[in-house]
Structure 1
Amino acid sequence: MLSLRQLEVFLAVIETGSTTRAAEAVALSQSAASNALTELESRLGERLFDRVGKRLVLNASGRALQPRALLLLTQARDAETLFRHGGGQLKVGASTTIGNYLLPRLLGAADGVLPCERIDIANTDEIAERMLRFELDLGLVEGRTLHPDLLMEPWRQDEMVIVAAPQYEGAVLAALPWIMREAGSGTRRVVEQDVLSDLPVIRPVLELGSSEAIHNAVRAGLGVSCLSRHVVEQSLQSGELVVLAPERSIRRQLYLLRHRQRPDTAAVARFLALCAPEN
């Protein structure tokens, strides 16, 4: 029978390229790590790595095993924490607007016991990739992802508005200098598809990796952008920014991501009780 230790060594070799460094990563001797890998290959009847000089390079058989090994180790770790802290502590990935603005407000109602131990903020594509590697338990994202192993459910909605410093008020949108999120951002996809699709091609003068950075650039008068109202509400109230073309404002869907092969735990239920989807 395969052991979790064998799978742990297998994954560590993928990361490090050798049994020597893998042994250090999993706190084994080099001989024990080498034996674990040899036993795993013997049990499966397949070589999992090609030996290229002193380096072990994952082959087709190893690539087929990798996602299953990740899943088995993840499920084992889930079992270890199942009865701790009311069902374990979650690692949650959140798109920037959700992680910086919406989620902190929702978690403020946690009554001192947060239902997650870490919130990683990244764009939609990065969160999806990390969930596929079982590095995150849940994702809250602003864009769509269509990987068959991920379940995407409507979570909440957010209003997107075109904003600029007051000197741009009344200008033609297509002629303005635009500041955009980076490729792969859910916000950028929504803006291009749902807000600006009928305009001539917009050529951004600047691309930035977070909504907060764009907010600051727009306040400085560098250009215009389309941002969540959560991000710009205070600047609109103070008069630092104005809404352009309010008829182009949209309500976008925010999504909850789950992995199909990970059943919900008590920790997930606790999280969703505080951050429940809108009806």
Structure 2
Amino acid sequence: MDTANLTAFLAVAKSGSFSQAADMLHLTQPAVSKRIATLEHQLGARLFDRIGRHISLTEAGRALLPRAGQVLQTLEDTRRALSNLSSKVEGRLVLGTSHHIGLHRLPPVLRQFTSRYPDVALDIRFLDSEVAYDQVLHGEIELAVITLAPTLDEPIVARHIWDDPLDFVVSPEHPLADYGSVTLSELGRFPAVFPGPSTFTHRVVSRLFQREEVVPQISMTTNYLETIKMMVSIGLAWSVLPRTMVDEQVTPLTVANGDISRQLGCIWHSGRTLSNAGRAMVEMLQTDG
């Protein structure tokens, strides 16, 4: 069974579209259709139902889906393990990271890494931390440098690299800006803009308010920290931002019982053999972080 056919099957199953799968694989749509047809012939079963433009997995397709991913992952792990027999650090390293970490934390590490290991082709993917976590979990990327989840379970392995203090912030013109110190209850009387509810940062901040039995007035949410900073700076709401982002556009507040921080680090799948490049990246992050 040709692994290229399995790859095409997974791409169509994930995207729900032959044309989108073709774009993902840098192939023509007829080439993808041919690979699916060949796979269906080899298995003696139809894998997709095609009703107009709508595509859905058949029962056989649903049965194949997890097995196809396992087969490709096993082959990739085998290739990586054999490659690791050589001490050379080379090949392709797929690294996921959040925009914030990619802009504020990673550049010095990546600069040193590319200088020390010029034979490694870095494939850096900018993703929300939660999306990167999910892609590591499903074997789509080898490593991710992200905001760590408050709780981490097997099969994810994590290494804490940086503490990332968070500051409560308002615009310089906000009524709270002139307070010497505020309480969480006082914050709760004013509108807030929070990171999206699915984000690890939202969970960290929410736990602080739950502990103090305060319900914040969340008027809006967004996953983008730069957008949060903009909305705070124009006086729409208060929020929390990484200390590295605080400048003259916003005013940090002193909040009683409000010390809060998140952890940044790298994660990988415990069942996946890290490449030499992946191991070198983890080592460099731990050394230089």
TM-score (norm 2): 0.74
Find the partner of 1:129 among 134, 142, 147: 134
Change (3 A) 1:30 1:116: closer
After superposition, where does 1:240-255 map in structure 2 within 5 Å?
Answer: 240-245=250-255, 247-255=257-265
Say whether 1:262 aligns with 2:272.
yes
Q: State the AA in 2 paired with 1:103.
A: L
- 1:214-256 deviation digits (Å, cap 9, x = unpaired): 1222222222111211222xx1xx4842233164122322342
Tell me if the contact between 2:166 and 2:260 (Cα under 8 Å) persists in the aligned partners: yes
Change in 2 beyond 3 A, CA 1:111/1:143: closer
Asked whether the 8 Å contact 1:156–1:278 carries over to 2, the reply is no
Higher mean alpha-carbon deviation, 150-159 vs 113-122, is at 113-122
Aligned position for 2:161: 155
Q: Distance in 1 between matches of 2:121 and 2:228?
A: 28
Matched, 1:200 2:214: yes
Do the aligned partners of residues 51 and 185 (structure 1) sit closer, same or farther apart at CA in structure 2, a change above 3 Å counting?
A: closer
Residue pair 2:193, 2:238 contacting (<8 A) in 1 also = yes
Question: 1:101-116 maps to which residues of 2 (within 5 A)?
Answer: 101-110=104-113, 112=115
Q: Report the Cα distance in structure 1 between the residues aligned to 2:238 and 2:214, rounded to whole angstroms.
A: 16
Which residue matches 1:98?
101
Using a 3 Å threshold, how does the CA distance of structure 1 residues 38 and 56 change in structure 2: closer, same or farther?
Answer: farther
Residue of structure 1 equivalent to 2:38: 35
Instruction: Provide the C-alpha distance between the structure 2 equivalents of 1:142 and 1:182, rounded to a whole number of angstroms.
Output: 14
Q: Counterparts of 1:1-279 in structure 2 under 5 Å?
A: 2-14=1-13, 15=15, 25=28, 28=31, 33-39=36-42, 41-42=43-44, 47=45, 49=47, 51=49, 53=51, 57-74=56-73, 76=75, 79=79, 82=83, 86-110=89-113, 112=115, 117-144=122-149, 148-166=154-172, 167=174, 168-169=176-177, 170=179, 172-194=186-208, 197-232=211-246, 235=247, 238=248, 240-245=250-255, 247-276=257-286
Counterpart residue type for residue 141 of structure 1: I
Deviation of residue 210 (structure 1)? 1.1
The RMSD of aligned alpha carbons is 3.7
Cα separation, partners in 2 of 1:69 and 1:261, compared to 1, 3 Å: farther
Identity fraction in percent: 21
| Secondary structure of the corresponding residue to residue 92 of structure 1 | strand
Q: Is the 8 A contact 2:8 2:32 kept in 1?
A: no
Distance 1:197 1:129, change over 3 A: same
1:205 & 1:190 partners in 2: Cα distance? 18
CA separation of 1:53/1:195 partners in 2, compared to 1, >3 Å: closer, same or farther?
Answer: closer
Q: How many residues were matched structurally?
A: 268
Normalised to the residue count of structure 1, the TM-score between the two structures is 0.77
Alpha-carbon shift at residue 266 of structure 1 (Å): 0.6
Q: More deviation in 112-121 or 251-260?
A: 112-121
Indicate if the aligned counterparts of 1:8 and 1:26 stay in contact, CA closer than 8 A: no
